[in-house]
Amino acid sequence: MSESADILIIGGGLSGTMLAVQLLRLPGQRRISVIEPRAELGRGEAYSAVELGHTLNGNAARMSVDPDNPDDLTQWLTTHIAGGGWPESAEQAVPISELFPPRGLFGVYVQQRLAEARVAGAQQGSTVEHICAEVVDLQSDADSVQVSLNDGRRLRSTYAVLATGMFPAARTPQKESSGLNAAALDPWDVAAMRQLDPQSTVLIIGSGLTMVDAVVSLEQAGHRGPIEVFSRHGLLPHVRRQPPAWPDFLAEDHSIRTPRQLLRELRRQCRDAIAQGIDWQAPLDTVRAHIARLWSQATDVQRRQFVRHVRPWWESHHHRSAPLSAALVERLRSEGRLRIQAASFKGLEPHSGAGVSIRIRRRGEAATGVVHGAALINSSGIEYDWRRVARALPQQLLARGLVRPGPLALGIAAAVDGAVLDAEGQAGSRLFAMGPPLRGMWWESTAVTDVALQAKALAARLVG
């Protein structure tokens, strides 16, 4: 067992990297290790994107990683573009703050902020080491945390932080869930899509932002055939516009606590906005800042009501699509090439020959049917229930009683400061979590702005 670090960060996507950046910026000397199997820090799944068409879903003005400087990304982009980077941005006649950068470029921005923080941290003797491995087990006692890596190494530290991000869903009621992912194409793998017959039919499960990315990938790969999209509600993400400011009605009215009250008031505000000729996205966007408070105050019954009745609409109205991607989807729909159907996926169907067959049940129909395509793309989202994640670390943490499922089994439970709760509901002093694993605690715990704020607060907590 090697004494490796003061703070071990498990996962080097945006969350783990921004935590390291915030720790490096704080006074004092500390050794930080980020354990991440990917070759580069700061990217994770989202910012490993290589296609220019796979963009952020918010403009630069909304995607700063520095909670103290909302213009941080805009300023970085201004310098980057002035230096000859991202020449394609010139095709969009909008100010830099309104550009939707490619996610791969956003990864470069995150990495540059890490590099700068490393230099600043080095002046006081702080270091960040990237350990390229996966954590497969973790134990904790009163004095330290010990982790085991998939290459056999074992490390010890004073604190550990779970920044393990999101796990892809294999949404199927059947046992062969892994079969679905094995049969499906990666939504971002343009090279694999180039192997398809361009005129063939492609099936997509799920109609959220990952589906939009998959359609961008298919277009990029030269696919020109039909695209059949199936999702339970058949709802598409709305396009993100730049709405003007709107009064923060939830800050003024704390009597709104339940999902029903929220929806009623939000609808009223949207109607008022539309009557004044203002975009309905303006009132909706004021809700974001209050979601964590509303969710954490709610009872489990109210949370369940929200998930069952409001979630699909929240997802499609709030998690909106970048304008260029949305325009592509709209064009393909108007050409009749892309069809979105409200239908649930029931499983893979055995068949002989090429392609893939799936069983679906269309909304409102009792009988199921089989649909055949040349390829299948699974864009059905994220598995937040750690009990269903077939990965070593989540399974070991649950088996050892070091974590317990969060509200509604969304991620894991933690105290307000991020200290993870064990199976008995006790917050320890060594193990913390941030980002998507805290979905059940805050509902929105995934986007760039959520992660940036959590990183700053958790760094202060760990150092304090």
- Taking the least distance from each CB to ligand FAD, the nearer of 80 and 439 is 439
Q: What are phi and psi for residue 449, nearest 5 degrees?
A: -65, -40
Residues near ligand FAD (CB under 6 A), total:
30
* Residue 192 CB, nearest approach to ligand FAD (Å): 16
Of 55-63, 151-159, 220-228, 284-292: span binding ligand FAD (CB under 6 A): 55-63
Least distance from ligand FAD to the Cβ atom of residue 48, Å: 8
* Secondary element (H or E) of residue 307: none
Question: Which residue stretch of 41-49, 220-228, 289-297, 349-357 sits at the interface with ligand FAD (rule: CB under 6 A)?
Answer: 41-49
Segment near ligand FAD (CB under 6 A), from 19-27, 50-58, 245-253, 261-269?
A: 50-58
Which residue in the set 4, 6, 7, 16 belongs to the binding site for ligand FAD (CB under 6 A)?
16
**Interface stretch with ligand FAD, choices 35-43, 245-253, 304-312, 422-430 (CB under 6 A):** 35-43
Is residue 38 part of the contact set for ligand FAD (CB under 6 A)?
yes
Cα(445)–Cα(86) distance, integer angstroms:
29
Burial 43-63 (b: 16+ CB within 10 A, else e): bbebbbbebbbbbbbbbbbbb
Closest CA to 240 of 205, 268, 280: 280
44 binds ligand FAD (CB under 6 A): yes
Residues 267-326 that bind ligand FAD (CB under 6 A): none
CA distances from 141 to 11, 42, 158 (A): 21, 30, 10
Write the DSSP assignment of 136-179 as a string of letters.
Answer: EEEEE-SS-EEEEETTS-EEEEEEEEE----EE----SSSTHHH
Residue type for 119, please? V
Local structure of 227: helix, strand or coil: strand
The C-alpha angle with vertex 295 and arms to 293 and 298, in degrees rounded to 5, equals: 105
> Which residue of 446, 452, 458, 459 would you call a contact of ligand FAD, by CB under 6 A?
446
For residue 186 the two structure tokens come to: 């990666």
* By the rule CB under 6 A, 438 interacts with ligand FAD: no
Q: Provide the pairing of β-strand 338-349 with 227-231.
A: parallel
Rounded to an integer, what distance in angstroms lies between the CA atom of residue 6 and that of residue 125?
13
Which listed range, 31-39, 243-251, 256-264, 454-462, lies at the site for ligand FAD (CB under 6 A)? 31-39
101 near ligand FAD, judged by CB under 6 A: no
The residue (of 371 and 385) whose beta carbon lies closer to ligand FAD is 385
Map the footprint of ligand FAD across residues 131-150, applying CB under 6 A.
134-135
Report if residue 451 touches ligand FAD, rule: CB under 6 A: yes
Q: Can residue 436 be called a binding residue for ligand FAD (CB under 6 A)?
A: yes
Question: From the CA atom positions of the chain, what is the Rg in Å?
Answer: 23
- Residue among 159, 157, 164 at smallest CA distance from 136: 164
Residue 360 or 405: the one with the smaller Cβ distance to ligand FAD is 405
**Residues interacting with ligand FAD, by CB under 6 A?**
10-16, 35-38, 44-46, 56-58, 134-135, 163-166, 393, 435-436, 446-448, 451
